Structures are given as structure tokens and as C-alpha cells.
A and B are shown apart, each in its own frame.
Chain A
Amino acid sequence: MNPVVLDLGIALLVVAIAAFVIFTRDAYAAVVAFVAYGLLVSLRWVMLHAVDVAMTEAAIGSGLTGVLLLGTAARLRDECADAPTARTGTGLRVVAGIVALTVTGLLVAAVVGFGETAPTLAPQAAAALPATGLGNPVTAVLIAYRATDTLLEKVVLVLALLGIWSLAADDAWGGRPGRKQRADPDGGLAYFARRLVPVGVLVGLYVFWVGANHPGGAFQGATILAAMWLLAMMAGLADVPSIREVRVRAVLVAGAAVFLAVGLALLGLGDGFLAYPAAFAKALIIGIEVAMTATVAVTLVLLIAGTPERRG
């Protein structure tokens, strides 16, 4: 098929689904359409040869956010079914419309104003790769060139989780999130979980490891690991960890802590904050990424598990 036709078809489909997400009245339908939207967007990223972005969009933008939104929709249905729905005032609607149109207009102006060649830092990013010992420029951007951004991202993840935990009732504080999952240990789900989880953990570690030189990396690998842990929980093979457990809390801060420790150590040695010396760059980067992968996996699991609800 003519690639332009395929491009245009997917682009139109993305816009149509986005419109559906906005205009539909049914929260569930909106969430399901949002997940489909994310998958189509990641397909577009693949066609632009941005496989790393595509994987992150599919895993985080579509998968994780989809699960969180589904949980929210279920809670809204159960607990706020007969809450009065206030209609947004006309003034607010007009202001929101003007803001949205302005942002869209500025974006269009920016894209149209690119000229013949889009501004890019790609050549510099590729040229500096040997100094990091990595083969995947996206990983180099995340962990070396813009390391501070990634470090702060890990801090934000922990803060988001603390926000969810702080919603716990007083007597549930320090307990376990969510209801206890009851599942037949000899049932079909437990059977599939037992077989899928070990292979899935291996795939997650592989995606993390291969990220040094090929598409993949800490975040994508950690999402797969988190999904496997969640599957084991939903199949009743494992319980959600208690938020009081020291091991859990240690892993939650490990990513940011190791990152910060390496950065400060390098600063102390006179190289500058997170300025990896070329000889040890790869070893330091892998050390940070191992800690980050563990932190992201556990954080994602606990984000989805939600607020502590029972003692444990």
C-alpha cells in the first residue's frame, strides 16, 4: 500500500478516536478508546523509526495509564453513582475553548515554521556516544546527557506514590493496598500466571539489558516486570506488599538514591555532577539503571495497587 495513504489513514483514525474520548459520556468507553488511541500513536512512532518512544507510549501512555483510569472509572461508578453532576458554566467553557485554540494555533505555527530542515541535536547526540559506552542514543540522552531530568523523574514517581498513600484512612496506614485477591489456586488464571510470569520476568530483564544498544531500557523493562508482579497478585499467587515493609521502601528510593550518590561522588572527585569519566561510564550507568529498573517496577505496582485499605 502507498505509505502516504497508510500514514494519513492512521492520522485520521487517531484524531477520530481522540474526538470520541472527549465527546463520549461513558467513562468506560472513553478509557477503552484512550488505550486504543495510545496504541495507534505508538504505531505512528514505529513508522517514524522512534521505537523507544513507541515502546514507552504503549507501556506507560496506553497500558499503565489505561489501568489507572479503569480503576478510577470503577471507583467513580461504585462510590459516586448518585453524586449530582454540576454543569460547567458558559464563561468557563468559552475561556477553556480560547486557551485550547491558542495552544493549538501556537503549535501549528511552530510546526509550520520549521523550514526545510527541522532543528535537531541528533548529530551531536550520536557523536558523543563513544564517551558513554552505550550504543542507543536514546538511552544516552536519558541517563547521561539529560541525567538530571531522569533523576528528578524518579523523585516525582516516589512523590506521586506518597500522594496516593496519604489518602489512606488512619487505621489502614502502613497496611496493604487494595482488597485481598481471592483466586482458585488450581484455576486457569493461576495456571497461566505460573507459566507466563517466569518468562515475562526474563523478557523484562532482556528489554532492560538490551536498552544499552537497542530500543528498550529501564522504564520499558520495568513496566513488563511490574505487569508480571501484578499478574501474580491478580491470580492470587502473591499478596500486595505492605507499605510498612522496609525492603519495599528501600527499593522505592533506591533509584533516586543510587543516582544521587553517583552524582555527588563524581562531584566530589572533581568531575562535576553526574559527569561520568569515560573509563567507568558504562559500569556507572548500568549500576544506576539496575537500581532505577527495580524502583520503577515496584513504584508502578504500588501506584496501581493504590491506597492502603487493610491491616497487614
Chain B
Amino acid sequence: MNTLVTLASAGAITAGLFFFVAGTAGLLRFPDTLTRLHALTKADNLGLGLIVLGLLPQVDGVLMGLKLVAVWALVLFASAAVSQLIARASYRDRGRR
């Protein structure tokens, strides 16, 4: 049972890392600001979510688990707000040129 849980954790964290690598590749390769933002949201939302999911069985205590989930939720909202700000700035910049 323990081995199975550890394996599931490792699987989820590896999948999360894959999305981070994919998001970084997108950040480097995509042609403009909006598509790059799109790539980064994959890393924040899915990648971090999967890593938190993988870490959940490894923590001791419900409180610690709740903190991890809270971290993920806060990153979701914060990165969404920042994405809006960056997108707005790039939109205005485009109008000026």
C-alpha cells in the first residue's frame, strides 16, 4: 500500500514537472506575449496542481495538506491577476506602435 502511494506521488509530480517544462518551452518558443502567457498558465495551473496532488499523501497532518492546497489556489488567483495585467500592458503597447 505504502509503495503504491509513493508511486502515485512520484507519477503526479513527474507529470507536474512535464507541464513546467512544456510551459517553459512555450515561454521561450512562442512568438508573442499573449501566446507566451497562455503557455505559462499551463505550468501554474496544471503543473503546480499535479505537484501539490503528488505531495498531499506525503505530508503529515490535515493542516499541512490544506496549506498546500491553499498555496496552489493562491498561485492560481495571483497568476491569473498578473496575466491580466501583462496582457493589458501588451495590448496598450500594441495600440501605441
Contact = CB atoms under 8 A, between A and B. Distances in A.
Q: Do A and B come from one complex?
A: yes
Interface of A: 183, 187-189, 192-193, 195-196, 199-200, 203, 231, 234-235
A275 B21 CA distance: 53
Contacts, number: 26
Interface in B72-97: 74, 77-78, 80-81, 84-85, 88
Interface in B45-97: 74, 77-78, 80-81, 84-85, 88
A114 to B, nearest CB: 37
Instruction: State the majority secondary structure of interface residues on B.
Output: helix
A199 B74 contact: yes
B85 A234 contact: yes
Contact of B77 (A183, A196, A234): A196
B81 A231 contact: yes
A183 B89 CA distance: 12
Contacts of B80: 188, 192
Q: Lowest 8 A-B CB distances belong to which pairs?
A: A189-B84, A192-B81, A196-B77, A192-B80, A188-B84, A196-B81, A192-B77, A193-B81
A193 B81 CA distance: 7
B33 to A, nearest CB: 13
Contacts of B84: 187-189, 192
Interface of B: 74, 77-78, 80-81, 84-85, 88
A64 to B, nearest CB: 15
Query: Which one of B74, B77, B81, B88 has the greatest number of beta carbons of chain A within 10 Å?
Result: B81
Contacts of B81: 189, 192-193, 196, 231, 235
Contacts of B78: 196, 200
Nearest to B73: A199
A150 B78 CA distance: 30
B85 to A, nearest CB: 6
A193 B77 CA distance: 9
B77 A203 contact: no
